[in-house]
Amino acid sequence: MSARERDLPFRELVEALEKLDATTSGNEMVAILADLFRRTPPDVIPVVSYFVQGNLAAEYEDVNLQIGERLMAEAIARASGRSREEVQRRYDEKGDYGLVAEAVLEGQAGSGSGDALTVRSVHEKLLEIARQAGTGSQEAKLNLLADLLQKATPREARYIVRIALGTLRLGAGTMTLLNALAVAFTGEKKNKAQLEKAYNLCGDVGLVAQKVAEKGLEGLQEIKIQVGHPIKMMAAQRVQTLHEIFEKMPHGFAVEWKYDGERVQCHKRGEDVLIFSRNLENITHQYPDVVEAIRQDVAAEEAIVEGEVVALVPGTDDQFQPFQILMSRRRKYDIERYVQEIPVKLFLFDVLYVDGESAMEKPYPERRALLERIVTPSGRVDLTARLESSDPEEIEGFFDEAVERGLEGILAKSCAPDSIYRAGAREWSWIKWKRDYSEELADTFDVVAVGGFAGRGKRSGTWGALLCAVYNPDKDRFETLCKVSTGFSDEELARLPERFKPYETEHRPARVISKLEPTRWFEPVAVLEISGAELTRSPIHTCGSEGEDEPGIALRFPRFLRFRDDKSAEEATTVAEVKQLFEKARSGPGNGTPPPASNVSKRLYSSSSKTKGQR
């Protein structure tokens, strides 16, 4: 096979990107991508998958060009022979450096000259830019980028700039790509489920794309759990009463404290430790103290464990600070100072892999026992407090103690023989429970901002309200639930334009289903946690609606609580969850009572030797 047969002309990718840019139809987006994948050689299909999402590598790989707008403006000026002032003036008019590059290179002598660019050659050049570091690296990046733009046609330059700046904003999520791959290489969208299962094991849509392109569905069997490749985390369902947990888990369960921290997945191989967030982001650099704790306190050569990093009150090892305080650790600089100012503790609750053997197929009680064998509790690492009981009063007492400690509530985990770890799944083997202390809804919602309404009066110059949606995984789309305008501090309001500017787009994103027209659309990226008073039928929102004339479900009196930068849009509250809560509210509280305590052993597990009273 010739080198050209193993590559794809970059102009063909650009043609597909232009079509994706123009469509507002999710089905059309899948069709465009499926056609592109069929024409892409398997060797280069991983790169095409990354490029479509505006990335250079798998989500968990820390590949960053570190090219800001100032550097990009200079590179465009050098490539085009125009002045920095002219480039800046055009940017002020267009608000998009990709369009600026296309405009100033149009008709430029030498633009797009030489050999035509290929997907592989563009990717290699961008990786070379990313590798530049140390003295003189900025000048080297400028020269490499300017050279690449000179070789590109104006249309190609538009997308190279957007990829380099991270502003591609096509709205093609991972599930969209998996749908398109299923159509392209298996002929049926329903096979997406098998691709998704493989993706959940490796966190690399490019690898899944290459395997299915080369060998069809059989190729997916070659994707195995690996240290260093994050596994999509299992999620919990929600209920509003303790009685419902007994109903959903008739074969017994244990409850654990639900900590108000950042969920992490820690991968250990010898002295090497990687830490991933729930949206597969590599956040190892944020937690050097957790890295050291995993090295010292997890007794395995290789392991993958999951837990919650919680901020501590300085000088204590059992007094917790809220999630917002912990998020102050999300920074590139001054890490060591913040390690001292905001100490943390890791509470582990699951193990997925130990020394060459996957633990994911083991029932939950066996995984917990394995975790207890390999973890040595210390001031830096502990196991989640745990109670196994069938006594509702004892469980409520365990819950009350969690709330007194400032924690969110409890998480019930099935102890049935089929209580395996299901990567990426949200099933009834894990159930979270938070207490309702008011007339408002007991739980909160993680919603995705998909549009902004311009503020008026004292909110002039910022977004007065955010149009928010929940995720429908079955249809891979976002359906609107509410407009959020309250709960923001003055500082948060002032920063909204800056926060959402990278996601602004001129037309409705293809995966967003809305009857409302905001001032500006946002690509579905940013996740907010909100509360509300009640769920009600609504003619203007689309959550749960099956047709244009059918009303959806809306959240009344929504109130902003915090941004969830640790979650991806696809990890937001689902339409099914909202519908379940709505139906539960309509039918009223259950009339049954929890079953009486039986002779089942009641055991309180703390990871240390402390008793319940000492915790």
What are the tens digits of pLDDT across the range 115-139? 689 999 999 999 999 999 888 899 9
Mean model confidence pLDDT for the chain: 89
Residue 214 lies in a domain: yes
Residue 284 lies in a domain: yes
Instruction: Tell me 58's DSSP state.
Output: -
Can you read off the two tokens belonging to residue 477?
């789309």
Tell me: do 387 and 418 sit in the same domain.
yes
Residue 213 lies in a domain: yes
Sign for the CA dihedral angle at 509, 515, 516, 519 comes to positive
Name residue 454's beta-bridge partners.
463
Can you read off the two tokens belonging to residue 233?
């985390």
Split at pLDDT 50, 70, 90, the class of 459 is confident
pLDDT at 592: 40
pLDDT at 115: 62
The whole domain housing 422 covers 235-433
Residue 588 lies in a domain: no
* Domain count across the chain: 4
614 versus 27: the higher-pLDDT residue is 27
Residue with the two structure tokens 């997308």: 159
* Distance of alpha carbon 481 from alpha carbon 447, whole angstroms: 8
Q: Phi, psi (5° rounding) for residue 152?
A: -85, 150
pLDDT at 569: 93
* Distance of alpha carbon 497 from alpha carbon 329, whole angstroms: 23
Split at pLDDT 50, 70, 90, the class of 315 is confident
Determine the residue type at 553: I
566 in Cβ contact with 263 (< 8 Å): yes
Tell me: do 332 and 415 sit in the same domain.
yes
Tell me: do 453 and 343 sit in the same domain.
no
Residue with the two structure tokens 């001054």: 334
pLDDT at 90: 93
The pLDDT tens digits of the residues spanning 12-59 come to 999 999 999 999 899 999 999 999 999 999 999 999 999 999 999 998
Residue 61 lies in a domain: no
Q: Is pLDDT above 50 for 289?
A: yes
Determine the residue type at 501: K
Give the domain-ending residue among 433, 464, 496.
433
Residue 266 lies in a domain: yes
CA distances from 247 to 54, 86, 252, 386, 416 (A): 44, 67, 10, 20, 14
426 in Cβ contact with 235 (< 8 Å): yes
CA-based end-to-end distance of the chain: 66
Residue with the two structure tokens 């957007």: 162
Q: Phi, psi (5° rounding) for residue 199?
A: -60, -40
Tell me: do 420 and 292 sit in the same domain.
yes
pLDDT at 6: 83
Residue 597 lies in a domain: no
Give the domain-ending residue among 116, 137, 165.
165
Q: Phi, psi (5° rounding) for residue 345?
A: -135, 140
Tell me: do 298 and 419 sit in the same domain.
yes
Name residue 302's beta-bridge partners.
269
The pLDDT tens digits of the residues spanning 175-234 come to 999 999 999 999 999 999 999 999 999 999 999 999 999 999 999 999 999 999 999 999
Residue 591 lies in a domain: no
Residue with the two structure tokens 């123009």: 22
**Can you give the CATH number for the domain in which 148 is found?**
1.10.3260.10
Tell me: do 251 and 387 sit in the same domain.
yes
Tell me: do 183 and 302 sit in the same domain.
no
Most confident of 2-16, 326-340, 451-465: 451-465
Between β-strands 426-433 and 409-414, what pairing exists: parallel, antiparallel or unpaired? antiparallel
Tell me: do 415 and 479 sit in the same domain.
no
Tell me: do 19 and 123 sit in the same domain.
no
As annotated, the active-site residues are 258
Split at pLDDT 50, 70, 90, the class of 3 is very low
**Can you give the CATH number for the domain in which 458 is found?**
2.40.50.140
**Span 318-347, average pLDDT:** 86
Tell me: do 379 and 461 sit in the same domain.
no
CA nearest to 53, candidates 574, 571, 573, 569: 569
Tell me: do 427 and 471 sit in the same domain.
no
| Residues 177/179/181/186 CA torsion (nearest 10 deg) | 170
pLDDT at 588: 61
Tell me: do 427 and 335 sit in the same domain.
yes
Give the domain-ending residue among 116, 149, 165.
165
191 in Cβ contact with 34 (< 8 Å): no
